[in-house]
């Protein structure tokens, strides 16, 4: 692709992003995302679902711009809570607590806030630039893909999400399988035979994505955070305290550059996501630091690097979702689901058939990040006041928004009940130590995988080895196999370590 | 189980005779109830899913039927369940704690909302929802709960009726 094409695409995108309606929805998205990010216990998935009904009133482009705005807006907001309350506002900003909160306790909350704002902007910008450069290349490569390659890539994506997840890999795999099962509910596309519908007409179109996402994330997050979250103990932050010292600015530069690089790379990989990217960036920063003992006690690099990383990852996560139609995380799965509901199938053809949508979205990222940069600083007082509202007043409002949100998607009380059932399931799974994100990924990818699997085998005239005979597919399957072996190895190692710890415990307390 | 136990033993430097047997017995006592329940749940769902999938046509390799894919997913689930429940016997763990009251308040409020909305309209359903959800903790007085329900009902009216004109009546009565 030539330099001129690049400029033409950027110009088309900017033109779309700057349409008044799109600007407005971008603003609504980043603003609501930021508020939701600040409130602990409500993640971007809940926020996207709450605003989902609005997407039916606007063009798919505006809808996508808004939902994306919520997503990266919430990561700006989440770090504010991490710094001021030592509670991550969103899971991806958990690492920011480590040094952000100590900075606040030393009276440097203002500097920590400005650091996250600028680091987020830098990281986001790097991520967007990479997305603009690499998306056309991946699309060119994807022209060679057939169903076999898509199926293999989805297998790899789900396996990566399983193996890189925190906690038990077996449990993560179980969540993927459960998601795949929920994805099969409804009438089979090829034969029209109902599967797992139990005679309910409401289930014949399948389980509503919003009901599932709101249940396992929205309701279950509210139940588990209801007693745990304490807001209301936040000191005021003056605008003057936002000014960083010269030493801070010097430390920012390399930390942000490294964070953005780590975040961009890992964000684009399936299954990794911004949370892991931020954690890796923090670990790297601590390792390269000349005095790592400062970390955990308010090192400004410990805020700058992970914040740059999670925002870079937020943006590059869109690359596989938009160009291949393969989401790498639960949030991206929701974005994909929204596009499909609006009749747009993400994939290589999206760039040629809807260039305004794709490039408009990309350029709206710049606009949105700029808005966040400008909003974050003057509104610091508002965020502090929002955190001073006790949680007992906030959580009924959030539950209310979730209920109305689920209801209004199809004007269906059945969907609300379905979401409540998933809420109970999701809470149960959470209590038992499952992380429900892979479930949503499996749910969205399941029907696509089944379709591509069936089609690949039909194209191969019943030959199951088609996945190994096509070179790109074979390489992807090979990587998946390596992941499985590595996953099995580390599970067994973990298992042995547990057995050893138990042994030692028994040695110490022989009379149990 | 025995093999891994013995190997872990030699790694930890514990080398008394007969310790293997004694530990075997100890291990059966300390089980991780959370892991046990997780495994049982996965096995139950896996059994149900595979059983149901078997009632669907499986098809052939040339024309794969609707039962094949869910059957595969169910088998993975069963495998994960077995892999979770077996080490559950081995490990000690804390019994998971369930927050009963918040769960009942949030889910109960939602259920009442779902049952009411098509009969009494948006505003009364939201009012009832907020009142029930707010019983999730003791931090608000009764008066505060009613106050919150009134404020949020008004907010709902402003956003969803005036702003987004949601196609559900604000108030109605149809049973």
Using the beta-carbon criterion (under 8 Å), do A177 and B83 form an inter-chain contact? no
CB A189 within 8 A of CB A219: no
First to last CA, chain A: 70
pLDDT at A489: 83
Using the beta-carbon criterion (under 8 Å), do A495 and B87 form an inter-chain contact? yes
pLDDT at A36: 84
Q: In the predicted model, is pLDDT for residue A380 greater than 90?
A: no
Grouping H, G, I as helix, E, B as strand and the rest as coil, residue B18 is: coil
The residue-averaged pLDDT of A331-356 equals 83
The strand pairing partners of A195, in sequence order, are A186
Q: What single-letter DSSP state applies at residue A54?
A: G
| Beta strand A194-195 pairing with A186-187 | antiparallel
- The tokens for A296 are 């955990």
Domains of chain A, by residue range, sit at 3-200+208-508
- How many angstroms separate the CA atoms of A171 and B88, rounded? 13
Residue A294 CB neighbour total at 10 angstroms = 17
The strand pairing partners of A110, in sequence order, are none
Domains of chain B, by residue range, sit at 2-90, 100-163
Task: Nearest chain A residue to B105 by CA: give it.
Answer: A223
- How many angstroms separate the CA atoms of B48 and A434, rounded? 20
CB A227 within 8 A of CB B99: yes
Q: Where are the alpha helices (DSSP H) in chain B?
A: 2-12, 19-29, 33-54, 68-90, 100-120, 122-133, 142-156
Which of B69, B110, B149 minimises the CB distance to A403?
Answer: B110
Using the beta-carbon criterion (under 8 Å), do B84 and A173 form an inter-chain contact? no
- How many angstroms separate the CA atoms of B127 and A404, rounded? 12
- Enter the ipTM: 0.81
pLDDT at A180: 94
CB A214 within 8 A of CB A424: no
Which of A184, A191, A408 minimises the CB distance to B70?
Answer: A184
B131 CA: distance to closest CA in chain A (Å) = 8
Using the beta-carbon criterion (under 8 Å), do A503 and B8 form an inter-chain contact? yes
Confidence of residue A416 (pLDDT cuts 50, 70, 90): very high
Calculate helix-pair angle for B33-54, A169-184, nearest 10 degrees. 30
Using the beta-carbon criterion (under 8 Å), do B66 and A219 form an inter-chain contact? no
Using the beta-carbon criterion (under 8 Å), do B133 and A399 form an inter-chain contact? yes
pLDDT digits (tens, 9 = 90+) for A97-115: 889 888 988 888 888 988 9
pLDDT digits (tens, 9 = 90+) for A315-331: 898 888 888 888 877 78
Residue A421 CB neighbour total at 10 angstroms = 16
Substitution target in B26, B97, B103 with the highest count of A β-carbons within 10 Å is B103
- How many angstroms separate the CA atoms of A363 and A358, rounded? 9
Task: Nearest chain B residue to A189 by CA: give it.
Answer: B66
Confidence of residue A424 (pLDDT cuts 50, 70, 90): very high
Q: Is A165 left (phi over 0), alpha (psi -120 to 50) or beta?
A: beta
Residues 6+ apart with CB under 8 A from A123: A256, A259, A260, A263, A264, A307, A308, A309, A310, A311, A312, A313
Measured at the alpha carbon of residue B74, what is the angle toward residues B69 and B75, in degrees to the nearest 5? 100
The residue-averaged pLDDT of A272-286 equals 84
The residue-averaged pLDDT of A381-397 equals 84
Give mean pLDDT in consecutive 10-residue pieces for chain B, a chain of 175 residues: 32 36 42 83 95 89 86 94 82 75 94 94 94 88 92 90 81 83
Q: Does B51 touch chain A (CB under 8 A)?
A: no
pLDDT at A510: 45
A492 CA: distance to closest CA in chain B (Å) = 10
The residue-averaged pLDDT of A307-313 equals 91
B173 CA: distance to closest CA in chain A (Å) = 16
Which of B91, B106, B117 minimises the CB distance to A502?
Answer: B91
pLDDT at B26: 43
Using the beta-carbon criterion (under 8 Å), do B49 and A227 form an inter-chain contact? no
Residues of A in contact with B105 (CB under 8 A): 226
The residue-averaged pLDDT of A202-230 equals 84
Cα R_g (chain B), whole angstroms: 27
Using the beta-carbon criterion (under 8 Å), do A431 and B87 form an inter-chain contact? no
Q: Does B170 touch chain A (CB under 8 A)?
A: no
Grouping H, G, I as helix, E, B as strand and the rest as coil, residue A272 is: coil
pLDDT at A336: 84
Using the beta-carbon criterion (under 8 Å), do A500 and B115 form an inter-chain contact? no
Q: In the predicted model, is pLDDT for residue A314 greater than 60?
A: yes
The residue-averaged pLDDT of A170-176 equals 91
pLDDT at B4: 33
CB B65 within 8 A of CB B58: yes
Chain B stretch 63-102, residues whose beta carbon is closer than 8 A to a beta carbon of chain A: 63-66, 69-70, 73-74, 76-77, 80-81, 83-84, 87, 90-92, 96-99, 102
Measuring CA to CA, which residue among A376, A97, A384 is closest to residue A236?
A: A384
Residues of B in contact with A498 (CB under 8 A): 87, 90-91
Task: Nearest chain A residue to B94 by CA: give it.
Answer: A432
First to last CA, chain B: 60
Using the beta-carbon criterion (under 8 Å), do B134 and A396 form an inter-chain contact? yes
Measuring CA to CA, which residue among A367, A342, A320 is closest to residue A58?
A: A342
Q: Does B56 touch chain A (CB under 8 A)?
A: yes
- How many angstroms separate the CA atoms of A97 and A279, rounded? 11
pLDDT at A271: 66
Q: In the predicted model, is pLDDT for residue A179 greater than 90?
A: yes
Q: How many residues does chain A have?
A: 512
Higher pLDDT, A279 or B146: B146
pLDDT at B10: 34
pLDDT digits (tens, 9 = 90+) for A14-58: 888 888 989 999 999 999 888 888 887 777 777 777 777 777 778
Task: Nearest chain A residue to B127 by CA: give it.
Answer: A400
pLDDT digits (tens, 9 = 90+) for B100-143: 899 999 999 999 999 999 999 999 999 999 999 999 888 888 89
pLDDT digits (tens, 9 = 90+) for A230-256: 666 667 777 777 788 888 888 888 999
pLDDT at A230: 66
pLDDT at B54: 92
pLDDT at B15: 35
Residues 6+ apart with CB under 8 A from B158: none
The residue-averaged pLDDT of A484-511 equals 70
Using the beta-carbon criterion (under 8 Å), do A393 and B140 form an inter-chain contact? yes
Residues of A in contact with B42 (CB under 8 A): 174
């Amino acid at each position: 692709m030539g330099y001129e094409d690049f400029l033409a695409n950027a110009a088309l995108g900017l033109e779309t992003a700057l349409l008044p309606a799109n600007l407005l929805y971008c603003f609504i998205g980043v603003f609501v995302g930021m508020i939701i990010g600040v409130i602990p216990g409500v993640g971007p998935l809940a926020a996207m679902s709450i605003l989902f009904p609005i997407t039916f009133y606007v063009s798919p482009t505006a809808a996508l711009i808004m939902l994306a705005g919520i997503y990266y807006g919430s990561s700006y907001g989440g770090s504010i809570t991490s710094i001021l309350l030592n509670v991550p506002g969103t899971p991806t900003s958990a690492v920011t607590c480590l040094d952000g909160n100590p900075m606040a306790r030393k009276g440097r909350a203002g500097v920590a806030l400005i650091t996250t704002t600028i680091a987020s902007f830098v990281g986001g910008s790097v991520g967007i630039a990479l997305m603009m450069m690499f998306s056309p290349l991946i699309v060119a490569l994807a022209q060679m893909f057939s169903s076999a390659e898509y199926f293999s890539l989805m297998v790899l994506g789900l396996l990566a999400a399983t193996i890189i997840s925190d906690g038990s890999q077996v449990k993560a795999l179980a969540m993927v399988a459960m998601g795949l099962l929920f994805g099969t509910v409804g009438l089979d596309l090829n034969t029209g035979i109902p599967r797992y519908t139990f005679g309910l007409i409401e289930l014949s179109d399948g389980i509503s994505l919003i009901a599932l996402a709101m249940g396992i994330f929205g309701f279950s997050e509210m139940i588990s955070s209801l007693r745990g979250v304490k807001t209301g103990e936040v000191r005021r932050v003056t605008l003057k305290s936002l000014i960083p010292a010269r030493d801070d600015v010097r430390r920012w530069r390399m930390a942000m550059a490294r964070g953005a690089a780590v975040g961009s790379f890992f964000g684009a990989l399936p299954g990794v996501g911004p949370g892991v990217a931020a954690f890796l960036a923090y670990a790297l920063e601590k390792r390269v630091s000349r005095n790592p003992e400062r970390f955990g006690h308010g090192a400004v690099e410990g805020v700058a690097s992970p914040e740059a990383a999670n925002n870079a990852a937020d943006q590059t996560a869109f690359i596989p979702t938009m160009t291949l139609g393969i989401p790498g995380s639960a949030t991206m799965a929701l974005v994909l689901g929204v596009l499909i509901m609006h009749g747009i199938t993400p994939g290589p053809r999206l760039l040629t058939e809807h260039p305004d949508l794709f490039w408009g979205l990309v350029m709206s990222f710049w606009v949105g990040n700029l808005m966040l940069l400008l909003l974050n600083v003057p509104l610091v007082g508002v965020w502090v006041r929002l955190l001073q509202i006790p949680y007992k007043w906030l959580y009924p409002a959030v539950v209310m928004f979730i209920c109305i949100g689920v209801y209004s998607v199809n004007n269906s009380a059945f969907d609300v009940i379905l979401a409540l059932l998933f809420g109970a399931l999701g809470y149960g799974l959470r209590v038992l130590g499952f992380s429900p994100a892979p479930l949503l990924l499996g749910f969205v990818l399941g029907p696509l995988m089944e379709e591509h699997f069936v089609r690949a085998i039909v194209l191969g005239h019943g030959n199951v080895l088609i996945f190994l005979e096509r070179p790109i597919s074979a390489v992807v399957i090979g990587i998946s196999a390596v992941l499985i072996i590595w996953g099995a190895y580390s599970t067994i190692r973990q298992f042995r370590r547990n057995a050893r710890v138990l042994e030692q415990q028994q040695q110490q307390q022989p009379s149990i | 189980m025995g093999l891994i136990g013995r190997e872990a033993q030699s790694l930890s430097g514990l080398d008394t005779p007969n310790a293997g047997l004694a530990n075997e017995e100890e291990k059966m006592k300390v089980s991780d109830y959370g892991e046990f329940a997780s495994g049982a749940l996965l096995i139950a769902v896996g059994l149900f899913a595979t059983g149901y999938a078997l009632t669907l046509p499986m098809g052939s390799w040339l024309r794969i039927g609707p039962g094949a894919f869910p059957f595969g997913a169910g088998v993975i689930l069963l495998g994960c369940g077995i892999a979770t429940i077996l080490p559950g016997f081995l490990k000690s763990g804390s019994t998971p704690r369930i927050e009963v009251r918040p769960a009942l308040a949030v889910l109960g409020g939602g259920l009442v909302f779902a049952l009411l909305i098509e009969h009494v309209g948006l505003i009364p359903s939201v009012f009832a929802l907020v009142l029930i959800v707010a019983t999730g903790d003791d931090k608000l007085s009764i008066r505060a709960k009613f106050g919150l329900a009134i404020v949020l009902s008004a907010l709902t009216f402003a956003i969803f009726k005036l702003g987004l004109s949601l196609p559900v009546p604000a108030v109605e009565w149809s049973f």
